[in-house]
Amino acid sequence: MRKELKYIIWAHVALILYLAYLSFDLITLLHDDSFSDALLDVELNPPDGKMDRKAIIPKIIHQTYKTSEIPEIWKNGQEACVSLHPDYQYILWTDAKARQFISEEFPWFLPTWDSYTYPIQRADAIRYFALIHYGGIYIDLDDGCERKLDPLLSVPAFVRKTIPTGISNDVMGSVPNHPFFIKVVESLRKYQRNWLVPYITIMFSTGPLFLSVIWKQYKRWGVPEAGKVRILMPEDYKSHPYSFFAIAPGSSWHRDDAKFIKGLLDHIVLAVIGGFLIAFFIFYLEYLFYCWVISSSFKKMVGKITGLFCFISNSILRGLKLDKLIESWCYQPVNNDETNTMASSSKKKVDLLGFLSYNHSIKRRSRKDSNIPIELGLLEKLADKDTIIVTEDDNSQSTETQISLQQCNSMITNNGDSDEESNNDGEAYVFKNNDHLV
């Protein structure tokens, strides 16, 4: 397998793992475990019609709108909720009232509150803060009351189940400072991101998808009985004789992008086929890219870019007169031993200048007699501690260098294989006149 193909495969594996990490909570929503916490029919509709369980949620109804002027299309539902519950406190959170409440009671959240792009995000956020501060039941304006809400007051907290999975924030209730809603408000700043698409941004920053993800996180490691969040099932929510609510037409925040996404859900088969076609097209583009990477034209382009980089680097060094300075530093004596000095200076030059240009003291060779071991200093790495490697340039040859080379020539006579005892056991590699001897 080509190394380029391995790189592409590993890049895909890393990307898949990263996306799986980011979307782990969304993946967990595929498993619907809401039925274990469902509000039972016997709890909501006792046979004798009498509620034996004590109400623990405060009798407060919360609703939100930008002003106190409720649109006509939702007035009937609002009035029904108020008239059915004369013993409940009713709070309508307008934009101005909500901001004042946040600034006074939760000032740490005010910068995030003001940074929200869409008004519906603030309308979503205020309901969570109202529940942890006051407790009670929050109801969207397009949810009209059909019956008394007293049976819902007997649990510490409840939310509504959505189809096919997850929960919604249009109807929910809790006691003050319930741990689930505390976790919700503490997570709002973390999930404040702009996903470019308004529907996704709203849903995943403050809306039902955000609430569902936090709900999954909250349940992950177990919840004590007092901290449970009970689930209001769809048949108890609407469209049945014993349902608590009826839905009025219209939506307060859905835009064209929301209609498009909902349209995809209505044509899920076509959406899946389209997704596979898009994925196939992306993989085809990657295949074309892979073919280009392994082609000779790509290698030539890389070679030209590398050559241009080396040329520019050398030009800059020469222009700043740093090339002589670097070479003089590379050839500083290490100690009085001239042989060690030359060996050390050669190694330093390869380390410092090797990425800029070739070593000009070495003759270019054919492929079968490659310079690569010399260029990369492999001979030095493979040699034992008694081996001395010396390079010499004709253009800068001095008397001291000639003497050193003569000394090295005298050392070649013994390569360490003799059984005779000698003080010169070892081997020397001498590079002279652009050639080499081993």
Q: pLDDT per residue over 233-284, tens digit each?
A: 999 999 888 899 998 876 555 555 555 556 656 666 777 788 888 888 888 8
The predicted-structure confidence for 74-102, as pLDDT tens digits, reads as follows 999 999 999 999 999 999 999 999 999 99
For a pLDDT cut of 70, what percent of the chain falls above it? Answer: 69
The pLDDT, as a whole number, for residue 379 is 57
- The answer to whether residue 116 scores a pLDDT higher than 90 is yes
The strand pairing partners of 80, in sequence order, are none
Residue 323 one-letter amino acid: D
The strand pairing partners of 364, in sequence order, are none
The pLDDT, as a whole number, for residue 388 is 54
Q: How far is CA 158 from the centre of its chain?
A: 32
More confident site: 132 or 3 = 132
CB 225 within 8 A of CB 152: no
- The answer to whether residue 408 scores a pLDDT higher than 70 is no
CB 154 within 8 A of CB 58: no
The pLDDT, as a whole number, for residue 151 is 93
Question: Token match 């995809």: residue?
Answer: 264
The pLDDT, as a whole number, for residue 295 is 83
- Would you place residue 16 in the very low, low, confident or very high pLDDT band (cuts 50, 70, 90)? confident
The pLDDT, as a whole number, for residue 60 is 97
Q: Distance between CA atoms of 404 and 198, rounded to whole angstroms?
A: 77
- Would you place residue 417 in the very low, low, confident or very high pLDDT band (cuts 50, 70, 90)? very low
H runs (alpha helix) in 336-376: 338-353, 372-375
Query: Pick from 193, 152, 173, 190: which is nearest to 53 by CA?
Result: 152
Query: Which domains are seen in the chain, by residue range?
Result: 25-251 (3.90.550), 331-437 (no CATH)
The pLDDT, as a whole number, for residue 389 is 54
CB 241 within 8 A of CB 195: no
Mapped onto helix, strand or coil, the DSSP state of residue 267 is: coil
- The answer to whether residue 7 scores a pLDDT higher than 70 is yes
- Among 8-12, 49-53, 407-411, name the most confident range: 8-12
What is the arithmetic mean of pLDDT over 171-191? 95
The pLDDT, as a whole number, for residue 173 is 97
Question: Token match 């391995």: residue?
Answer: 6
For a pLDDT cut of 90, what percent of the chain falls above it? Answer: 37
Least confident of 127-141, 224-238, 367-381: 367-381
- The answer to whether residue 171 scores a pLDDT higher than 90 is yes
The pLDDT, as a whole number, for residue 53 is 83
The predicted-structure confidence for 352-366, as pLDDT tens digits, reads as follows 455 444 444 445 555
Least confident of 144-158, 191-205, 246-260, 421-435: 421-435
- The answer to whether residue 189 scores a pLDDT higher than 50 is yes
Least confident of 259-263, 303-307, 310-314: 259-263
Q: Give the H/E segment covering residue 401.
A: helix 399-411
- Would you place residue 423 in the very low, low, confident or very high pLDDT band (cuts 50, 70, 90)? very low
- Would you place residue 414 in the very low, low, confident or very high pLDDT band (cuts 50, 70, 90)? very low
- The answer to whether residue 177 scores a pLDDT higher than 60 is yes
More confident site: 361 or 27 = 27
The predicted-structure confidence for 147-161, as pLDDT tens digits, reads as follows 999 999 999 999 999
428-432 and 245-247 beta bridge pairing: unpaired
Tokens describing residue 137? 């039941």
Least confident of 51-60, 119-128, 190-199, 399-408: 399-408
Crossing angle of helices 256-266 and 198-205, in 10° steps, is: 80
- The answer to whether residue 413 scores a pLDDT higher than 50 is no
The pLDDT, as a whole number, for residue 235 is 92
Taking phi first (over 0 means left), then psi (-120 to 50 degrees means alpha), and beta for anything else, what does residue 366 get?
beta
E strands along 289-405, which residues?
388-390
Q: Distance between CA atoms of 286 and 290, rounded to whole angstroms?
A: 6
Q: Which of the 8 DSSP states describes residue 391?
A: -
Residue 77 C-beta-side C-alpha neighbours within 13 Å: 21
